[in-house]
Amino acid sequence: TSFGFKDVREEEKSQMVGNVFSSVASNYDIMNDLMSAGLHRLWKDRLVSKLNPFPGMKHLDVAGGTGDVAFRILETINSVDHRALQDALEDNLQEETQICVCDINPNMLNVGKKRAQERGLGNHRSLIWVEGDAEALRFEDNSMDGYTIAFGIRNVTHIEKVLAEAYRVLKSGGRFLCLELSHVEVPGFKQLYDYYSFSVIPALGELVAGDRESYQYLVESIRRFPPQEKFASMIADAGFQKVEYENLVGGVVAIHSGLKF
Ligand code: SAM
């Protein structure tokens, strides 16, 4: 079941992950569409609808890459009922919306900034791009209404540190949401999914990004990521309450959530 990545040490792991995202930053969005047959768009929509974004919110999207989640949050807020917005403004409740995209890889952020420009969000004051490590965030305690991480936590070195940081930066009442590739246990579908992961994905990686090994590594990292229940208990251990998760496509991905009381 291993592709020779079993004994990868931690430094090598971060380096390898770094390489994957540097070498594919520009191919990244195409690969996402190809590998998930476009489904990642629906999964991200679902993530943002669970977040329930509101005008004036301070939100942090960690491992935000090329901005997919942040754009959706901003567009949802901009489409919010203007009557409600007007009332909030009149009541002086309306603070400035801030959506921070934080990522360790500047190449990903640069692709994101370019995409923001193309979408007409380039000079949007609410959109803030920050280079930084999910394990050591440079944001203040109790400063965020929401925290999202999509397809990001699987590749970090210490999941616990990321969860502790998420808890620290959230305000009381703040929401943690994580979208991640997870574990399929549905008989029949599981075999199909395994075949797809171990045969099709590496071949696509070679064809499109010219990098078979990195995509094999990504598949292996999905297998190593804690199963849904285990990950939920790690989120609870970080201090979150009301921890729950939703499987999508039989567990190909899961959305975990928690609240900071
Ligand atoms: N969230 C985006 C999306 O769903 O399209 C990007 C997901 S991409 C698979 C994973 C991202 O995690 C990459 O942009 C990578 O640079 C970032 N990343 C990896 N380790 C990180 C860390 N320790 N802190 C912050 N970002 C990290």
Atom number of ligand 1 nearest to Cα 17: 19
Residues 6+ apart with CB under 8 A from 227: 182, 183
User: Which two three-digit tokens encode residue 34?
Assistant: 């190809």
Tell me the CA–centroid distance for residue 61 and ligand 1, in Å.
10
Give the residue whose CA is nearest to atom 18 of ligand 1.
63
User: Which two three-digit tokens encode residue 102?
Assistant: 């934080």
37 marked among binding-site residues: no
d(C-alpha 76, C-alpha 93), whole Å: 19
For the CA atoms of 127, 137, 5, 25, what is the dihedral angle to 10 degrees? Answer: 20
The residue ranges of the chain whose pLDDT is under 50 are: 1-8
| DSSP codes, 86-145 | HHHHHTT--PPPEEEEEES-HHHHHHHHHHHHHTT-TT-TTEEEEE-BTTB--S-TT-EE
d(C-alpha 209, C-alpha 212), whole Å: 8
End-to-end CA distance of the chain: give it in Å, rounded. Answer: 41
133 marked among binding-site residues: yes
pLDDT digits (tens, 9 = 90+) for 221-231: 999 999 999 99
User: pTM of the predicted model, to two decimals?
Assistant: 0.89
Atom number of ligand 1 nearest to Cα 179: 4
Count of Cβ atoms closer than 10 Å to residue 156 Cβ: 21
- Whether the CB of 253 sits within 6 Å of ligand 1: no
ipTM of this predicted structure = 0.99
Tell me the CA–centroid distance for residue 116 and ligand 1, in Å.
17
- Provide the pLDDT for residue 135: 98
Give the residue whose CA is nearest to atom 6 of ligand 1.
65
- Pick one of 3.40.50.150, 3.20.20.60, 3.90.25.10, 3.40.50.800 as the CATH number of 38-183+225-259: 3.40.50.150
- Whether the CB of 71 sits within 6 Å of ligand 1: no
- Provide the pLDDT for residue 209: 82
d(C-alpha 253, C-alpha 72), whole Å: 19
Q: Which of 178, 164, 170, 174 is nearest to 69 (CA)?
A: 178
Tell me the CA–centroid distance for residue 188 and ligand 1, in Å.
31
- Provide the pLDDT for residue 5: 37
d(C-alpha 226, C-alpha 155), whole Å: 12
- Provide the pLDDT for residue 8: 47
pLDDT digits (tens, 9 = 90+) for 16-65: 665 655 555 667 788 889 999 999 999 999 999 999 999 999 999 999 99
Domain residue spans of the chain: 38-183+225-259
- Provide the pLDDT for residue 122: 78
